[in-house]
Structure 1
Amino acid sequence: MPIVTIHDFTGVYAEQPFMQELRESAATDKNIHWLDCTKIEGTDCYCDDEAQAVLHKMMDEAGATAEPAPGIHFFDNGNYHYMSKLWTDRVQEPFDLVVFDHHPDMQPPRFEGILSCGGWVLEVLKNNPFVQSVTLIGVADHLVDEIREWITSLPADARNDVNGALLDRVKFIRESELKSELTDLSSHFTSHIPHSTSLYISIDKDALSTAEAATNWDQGSLTYEQLSATLTALTQNHKILSIDICGERARDMDFADTSTADALNNALNEKLFHTLTGLHGIL
């Protein structure tokens, strides 16, 4: 079984019986770590330096090494997706980053130097010397166009990062592509990701349709069948470093039926957990 780490920022997992089973198991199972992050200030959407230091310390104490064993990480809702940046900082080998998300998370920072849920992918691209490319799956079409226009408008030196031109190292699979019955997501990878490449996978459940998940951001059109089939294909042909999962509902979000939203997310998390722990390359 892979190492499982749950970062509980808001307490929303208390509404999910399966996640509470994992919390109870963490008391006796050395492969499951439950990290109570609810008291850490400076983490909602933006993560300041002090909060990052606290989070890294917690990760160290949970046994995360500089080159972690394959693991599954849960990050609460999408406001904390930047945790994928903190985890990829620990990877010490070349890798490609594969992100399922309805948003590109490549926005320029509103406050210079502060890590954000909306800009963490850009931070990884610009500052991580080991990341070779990024594939973003399920991004809203208009957001892809906006990011491309913004990067193209930058001065020549700003369009580059530590490894070359930004746009040359990013592949977008737009939401509109997912809606085609002819779309086979796994085929998008075989042509540009060598089988020898290690992968780090990060999933924001807002890429999925509202029939599959209830999140705190606008959602896309990805089906669970597409997600599962793509994960299966990737893990069969690549070394998987870790897989991240975020996209719970916000605790203060006004759902017409909160219990239904929690039941939907509970079922999805359980299904994802069992799918991932059963995949070749994660064991």
Structure 2
Amino acid sequence: MMITVQDFTGVYAEQPFMQELRTTAETSKDVRWLDCTKIVGTDCYCDDEAIKEINELIDNAESSSKSECNRIIENRDNSTNAPNIHFFDNGNYHYMSKLWTDRVQEPFTLIVFDHHPDMQPPRFGGILSCGGWVKEVLDNNKFIQSVIIIGVKDELVETVREELSQSGESSILDKVTFIRESELNTLSFQSSLSSFVSRLSSQHSLYISIDKDALSPVYAATNWDQGTLTLDALKDSITALTTGRKILGIDICGERAHDFEGDEHHTVQEADSLNSELNREFVEFLNNL
């Protein structure tokens, strides 16, 4: 398993587990720490020059270690499903999942855990954004087969349907399954998930992208409004979806804002401790899939 951490805001400096990873990256080729703090044009929106810089940073890191492609082949040969994990800061950088899936060279289904659908039509000349990256993948990635988005706020699903209908692009929703927030922890959730799983063949490759804002504030402190998904439900969903299938990668974002000063749920110290332990739990869980 390869872990890549992309630090955009410096927020990981306050998380003990992430600092353990940073120390490990100094001596191990299994962990890469990419300093993205000096790349401009990345907050919420990622312009073309920033995309170029980010991709070059990843390429340079891969040239000094084993490539993602070789690791996927190696994992397959060793009969292990341990995925490559990418951490990339708070939800403003969720568009990184688009850049990582650009590197996939085989048909795949995209699994997204998010309190927001991230399917807004572009508003600034087609620039890549944290609020529209899923649509960008559907529009431009020739390998994408289908998408399931779990934990979406109910009213945002209808908003996306209206926006895409108005722009004449509603047909892309034929590839998308939404599991709304109101369905979570109900029989409807289990039914929808089981129905989706039944449509996936055992040979189907998956790519998973997690924004921790899908989770209740009990489990994480993020920089966007949060949902009600439980950590157990998220883990159970991943297990159901991935059993017997190849995982091409797993992305994790949703840290607190770098200028967070506390809220009704957490102090700054509580938020950092909670997120640090959640990131540790994610790595341990995903490594055992």
Displacement of 1:113: 2.3
Q: Does 1:154 align with 2:167?
A: yes
| Number of the residue aligned with 1:16 | 15
Q: Aligned partners of 1:182 and 1:267: how far apart in 2?
A: 30
The aligned residue for residue 119 of structure 2 is 106
How do 1:66-81 and structure 2 match up within 5 A?
69=72, 70-81=83-94
Partner residue of 1:269? 279
Cα distance in 1 for partners of 2:71, 2:28 equals 18
- Between the aligned partners of 1:183 and 1:230, the Cα distance in structure 2 is 10
RMSD: 1.5
Separation in 2 of the partners of 1:100 and 1:188? 17
**One-letter amino acid of the structure 1 residue matched with residue 175 of structure 2:** R
1:210 aligned residue? 217
Amino acid corresponding to residue 150 of structure 2 in structure 1? I
Structure 2 letter corresponding to 1:259: Q
Aligned pairs for 1:57-68 within 5 A? 57-63=56-62, 64-65=67-68
Partner deviation per Cα, 1:12-47 (whole Å, 9 max, x = no partner):
001000000000000111011000000100000000
The CA distance in 2 between the partners of 1:233 and 1:145, in whole Å, is 27
Partner of 1:82: 95
- Amino acid paired to 2:58: M
Partner of 1:136: 149
Q: What is residue 178 of structure 1 aligned with on the other side?
A: 184
What is the CA-CA distance between 1:141 and the residue it aligns to?
Answer: 0.3
Letter in 2 for 1:245: I
Residue of structure 2 in register with 1:5 after alignment: 4
Shift of 1:180: 1.9
Structure 2 distance, partners of 1:188, 1:52, is 36
Tell me the distance in 2 between the aligned counterparts of 1:67 and 1:168.
33
Give the equivalent residue in structure 1 for 2:230: 223
User: More deviation in 188-197 or 252-261?
Assistant: 188-197
Q: CA deviation at 1:193?
A: 2.1
**Identity over aligned pairs, percent:** 61
State the one-letter code of the partner of 2:245. H
* C-alpha distance in 1 between matches for 2:103 and 2:59: 11
SS at match of 2:120: coil
Deviations 1:236-264 (A, max 9, x none): 13110000000000111231410011111
Q: Could you say what secondary structure the match of 1:202 adopts?
A: strand
1:85-119 deviation digits (Å, cap 9, x = unpaired): 00000000000000000000001122012100000
2:210 & 2:282 partners in 1: Cα distance? 10
TM-score (normalizing by structure 1)? 0.92
In 1, the alpha carbon distance for the partners of 2:136 and 2:153 equals 20
Q: Report the alpha carbon displacement of residue 199 of structure 1 after superposing the two structures with TM.
A: 0.4
Which SS does the other structure have where 2:199 is aligned? coil
Q: 3-state SS of the aligned residue for 2:238? A: helix
Paired residue type of 2:47: D
Match of 2:78 in 1: none
Query: Which stretch of the first structure deviates more once superposed, 199-208 or 173-182?
Result: 173-182
TM-score normalised according to structure 2 size: 0.90
User: How many corresponding residue pairs?
Assistant: 271
Return closer, same or farther for 1:67/1:100 CA change in 2, 3 Å cut-off: farther
Structure 2 Cα separation of the partners of residues 48 and 241 of structure 1: 26
User: Which amino acid is 1:75 matched to?
Assistant: F
2-structure distance, mates of 1:182, 1:146: 22
| Matches of 2:46 and 2:28, distance apart in 1 | 29
The letter for the 2-side match of 1:206 is D
Report if aligned partners of 2:197, 2:240 keep a CA contact under 8 Å in 1: no
Q: Please list the CA deviations of residues 32-91 of structure 1 after superposition, one character each: whole Å capped at 9, or x if unmatched.
A: 100000010000000000100010011111214567634100010000000000000000
Q: CA deviation at 1:212?
A: 0.6
Q: Read off the aligned partner of 1:270 and give its amino acid letter.
A: R
Q: 1:194 aligns with which of 201, 204, 225?
A: 201
Structure 1: unaligned runs, 5 residues or longer:
160-164
Corresponding residue for 1:162? none
Distance 1:67 1:107 in 2: 34
| Structure holding more helix per residue | 2
CA distance in 2, matches of 1:205, 1:68: 26
SS at match of 1:237: coil
In 2, the alpha carbon distance for the partners of 1:42 and 1:232 equals 36
Q: Which amino acid is the alignment partner of residue 40 of structure 2?
A: E
